[in-house]
Amino acid sequence: MRSLFVLCIALAAVLVLAACGPGAGSAPTQPAAPKPVEVQVTMTEFKIEPSMTSFQVGVPYRFVVTNKGTVAHDFSITPPAMQHGGMAMSSDDMHKAALAVIDAANMPPGATKTVDVTFNKPVAAGEFELACHTPGHYEAGMQVPITVTQ
């Protein structure tokens, strides 16, 4: 008699588990990733013209960079070159310090490239800039300071 009781309990447990098993209820859906804010950036000889230069920490941005010039340009978000001993940064240094880079090889005249950036800390005026480090271009004026606020 007692073993029958145990069997009944076991059966009931199996039925409850089956009810909660796969197929019972749908999996929670993933929240959609926030849509990045688009920042249009136009590059020419020898100017960088961004649609904005003030950004916010934690907001995803998509830099849409178009080369409207007649030679290749590169795009980076880097500390000002003058902070590196007064000389233009080498390509290696530039890559190490950069928050984002699009190489000149990928930006021939007419090309549009995108790079996504989410700033994770505030940036004071003069700490970072949008720049082209193709030899001679930076010095010719291809740099625009940016700020990032909390």
The residues of the shown chain that bind Cu ion, judged by CB under 5 A, are 73, 132, 134, 137, 142
The Cα 137–Cα 48 span in angstroms is 10
Strands, E, within 79-133: which ranges?
100-102, 112-118, 123-131
Quote the least distance from Cβ 25 to Cu ion, whole Å: 56
Residue spans of alpha helices (H) in the chain? 2-20, 91-97, 137-140
Quote the least distance from Cβ 104 to Cu ion, whole Å: 7
Q: With respect to Cu ion, which residue has the nearer C-beta, 43 or 148?
A: 43
Asked whether 74 and 133 are in contact (CB, 8 A), the reply is yes
Q: With respect to Cu ion, which residue has the nearer C-beta, 39 or 74?
A: 74
Q: With respect to Cu ion, which residue has the nearer C-beta, 132 or 146?
A: 132
Quote the least distance from Cβ 97 to Cu ion, whole Å: 18
Give every strand in the sheet of 47-50, ordered side by side.
47-50, 37-44, 60-67, 112-118
Quote the least distance from Cβ 146 to Cu ion, whole Å: 17
The Cα 87–Cα 97 span in angstroms is 15
Quote the least distance from Cβ 75 to Cu ion, whole Å: 8
Q: With respect to Cu ion, which residue has the nearer C-beta, 109 or 126?
A: 109
Q: With respect to Cu ion, which residue has the nearer C-beta, 73 or 148?
A: 73
Burial of 44 (0-12, 13-18, 19+ CB in 10 A): middle
